[in-house]
Structure 1
Amino acid sequence: MTEYPQRDIFFVSNSVDELGGVTSWSHQMARLFTENGHRVHVVGITEPAVVQELGELLYPTTTLYDVHPPRVGSARGLKGRLNVAERKLRAERAAGMREQAAKLTALFRAAHPGAVVIVTQVWAMEWVELADTTGLTVIGMSHESFGYCKKTSRFRRVQKHYKDVDRMLALTREDADRWIGQGMNNASFMPNPIPFMPGVPSPRTENVVVSVGRLHDQKGIDMLLDAWAEVVPRHPDWRLRIYGSGEDEDEEILKKQCTALGLDDSVDWMGRTSDVPSALRGGSVFVLPSRGEGFPLALMEAMAAALACAAFDCAPGVHEIIHDGEDGLLANLGNIGELARRLDTLLSDRTLRDTMGDAARTNIQRYTADEIVRKWENLFAFLER
């Protein structure tokens, strides 16, 4: 790897070991920066509800709170302002935030000149902005598309808490331009690197469609099941393997839907996996049915494994990763019949699957770890001027 000036780099997230793509990305980048000679520290605000196993780490981690900070209601309106219990809880939370932000200040003050703070989630930024970041470069990130973020409470919080950071990073140029259009003139973009580049691609010999993702509404598994109900009568020798877990209630609802659609004989619920490469090697097609994404790691992993992919075009990151018709097939978001037809096309034509899978493995290498680290290093140098 190219040598770069050594820095202290802090990743600050909601949690150190929360289940999800942001955590996986944070630790991938922390490892890459550590291997590049930087001093990395990963900080989480609180313990998560659902944990992912991280294995042995090459860098320290810190979690600020022993217990989750108090959740408070809205202070809007006369009722909110006069609610004594809520006012007390809000005051306790504010005092606790200042106390925990002081821990961040202590970490930051011990850093060498040129240190960088990368805030991966806007909730965590509420603590960072209470800390003393004098002399540090602060970068705030949104790991979801502009369109999906705009439908959530995070949209206003990004505008509020990231407006004064040195750089606010979206995942694509298209989303950065949309943030700039909202007055975020510090916005730019940084794509994700490929999580891994397997030495051996999938042989694509099994009649298996693979899905990898949390069993959560955002990931659209309910729409995938509806699409699969249209596909499987034409391809009864194919199976759908769904890797991932979620809240017990969510899993139960999805499995009841599967049974109601008569799909129990063609759908395998695989649960969480710590070996995504092996899961992908066991398939010939990958499907991404999400309602919202940023720059989906699972899609990049599947393409690196040489799987042809079908996906809802739910975000700029998706149609930037997939070249529709060349290395995968896109369907309009929410159009279940169209997604079913895309899957039918891939399942019906092995030559097409192989051609698209090979193209996917080649094309996705524009997001290699070395290339993305180089982009980060150039950004650090630019912001330090």
Structure 2
Amino acid sequence: MTQREIFFVANEVNELGGVGRWQEQMARLLSERGHRVRIIGIAPPEVPMDLGARPPYETLTLYERRPPGRHRPHFPLGRLHPAARIQEADRRAAAERLSSVFRAARPGAVIIVTQVWAMEWVALADTAGHPVIGMSHESFAASRRSSRFGRVRRYYRDVDRLLVLTQEDADLWTGEGLNNVGFLPNPLPVTPSAPSPRTEKVVASIGRLSHAKGVDLLLDVWAEAAPRQPGWILRVYGAGEHEAALRRQCTDLGLDDSVEWAGQTDNVIGALGRSSVFVQSSRGEGFPLVLLEAMACGVPCVAFDCSPGVREIVRNGEDGLLARHGDVSELACHLVRLMADENLRDAMGERARENVLRFAPDVITRRWEELFDFLER
């Protein structure tokens, strides 16, 4: 195995969230296999994630404060405006810091740009002939609904590889005229030594209390499901800007006796170990780590089929149940089915725990190393 220098260039070194958790795990996994890993962030995080006292990789942040993206703000005189010229000079100075780091790397180094905003700086830098891998951690559909769609096509068109999370999304990007697309799923974040006993009458939801995560839809689902299975609790883990509105919705629906607001948790495995079913009601997802975690804990999942990543993880009818995207009543029926049938919960939970091993960290890390070797040829 060739030991390499590997650079992760991201919006932030340690922003709390799915991309941040994936990045930290991959940096740790590759470091453990003898690679020298550095994470370079463009800006400081808004909500930092604890990386531990002595992570096995180096970190660097280019800016002390978050700079604007290249496509904003719009000045009256465009690039001739004095403020725009100052920002562009500042951006080029930051890109030169990147260039100096890349130039100092030994042959065989690889640059992995985990988010397209960060690619705006890498595009200005001298990558010193090292292969560049650009990543999109969201589904094609979610990207298409955002400003990132055009930026992915612009900034990732000429990188050595554009990596997405599923074959289905890779095919869709190829259909947009990109001929450098591949896919690699996220690795399993944890492998608990024992599954959840699935004895508590608890349905767990874990995620930010935001519009994208669809907790408002989940409350509508619970309003249909809870009366059909008395004694069960929906335990909602998470915090966010919509919390007050969601609590009011819960009260208006008469659900206060069967919904617990557990707040943000740093112990996802502990939370899942006290649950018998996991539910995800997101309006959109990439390749959600929490589904992998729930399955690793032997907790069967019920979710909206909102992206290729979700249906790649959950095998509908085998190790979990998927409802049509946004179909509240169907999701409620799936929940009731698992809440009512202990044997079905146990069977699906055990199959989930077995099936999720196809995303085991060593399996995914080897695929990354194979990609590095391929790009070097």
Q: Which TM-score band applies after superposition, normalised by the shorter structure?
A: over 0.9
Moved more, 88-97 or 367-376: 88-97
Partner of 2:51: 54
**What residue ranges of structure 1 are gaps of 5+ in the alignment?**
none
Cα deviation, residue 234, structure 1:
1.2
CA distance in 1 between counterparts of 2:137 and 2:346 reads 31
CA distance in 1 between counterparts of 2:137 and 2:102 reads 24
CA distance in 2 between counterparts of 1:317 and 1:86 reads 44
Partner of 2:26: 29
The 5-angstrom pairing of residues 26-105 of structure 1 reads 26-56=23-53, 57-70=55-68, 82-83=76-77, 87-105=81-99
1:240 counterpart SS class: strand
**What residue ranges of structure 2 are gaps of 5+ in the alignment?**
none
CA RMSD of aligned residues (A): 1.6
How many correspondences in the alignment?
376
CA distance in 2 between counterparts of 1:229 and 1:45 reads 43
Call closer, same or farther: CA 1:342–1:88 in 2, change over 3 Å.
Answer: farther
Instruction: Provide Cα deviations, 1:205-239, integer angstroms capped at 9, x if missing partner.
Output: 10001111111111111111110111111122011
CA distance in 2 between counterparts of 1:82 and 1:143 reads 34
Partner of 1:223: 217
Partner of 2:102: 108
CA distance in 1 between counterparts of 2:32 and 2:266 reads 22
Cα deviation, residue 54, structure 1:
2.2
Decide whether the 8 Å contact of 2:41 with 2:62 is kept in 1.
Answer: yes
Amino acid at match of 1:274: D
Asked whether 1:160 is paired with 2:147, we answer no
Decide whether the 8 Å contact of 2:161 with 2:181 is kept in 1.
Answer: yes
Cα deviation, residue 92, structure 1:
2.4
Amino acid at match of 1:96: D
Asked whether 1:125 is paired with 2:122, we answer no
Instruction: Provide Cα deviations, 1:57-95, integer angstroms capped at 9, x if missing partner.
Output: 1111111100111468768xxxx6635799333322211
Call closer, same or farther: CA 1:138–1:71 in 2, change over 3 Å.
Answer: closer
Asked whether 1:270 is paired with 2:296, we answer no
The 5-angstrom pairing of residues 346-361 of structure 1 reads 346-361=338-353
Asked whether 1:364 is paired with 2:356, we answer yes
Instruction: Provide Cα deviations, 1:253-290, integer angstroms capped at 9, x if missing partner.
Output: 11111121111211111111111110110000001111
Asked whether 1:322 is paired with 2:314, we answer yes
Normalised by the length of structure 2, the TM-score is 0.97
The 5-angstrom pairing of residues 181-200 of structure 1 reads 181-200=175-194
CA distance in 1 between counterparts of 2:42 and 2:59 reads 11
Cα deviation, residue 109, structure 1:
1.4
2:228 counterpart SS class: coil
Decide whether the 8 Å contact of 2:114 with 2:135 is kept in 1.
Answer: yes
Cα deviation, residue 357, structure 1:
0.3
Report the identity percentage: 56
Partner of 1:336: 328
Asked whether 1:307 is paired with 2:299, we answer yes
Cα deviation, residue 52, structure 1:
2.1
Decide whether the 8 Å contact of 2:79 with 2:85 is kept in 1.
Answer: no
Amino acid at match of 1:140: G
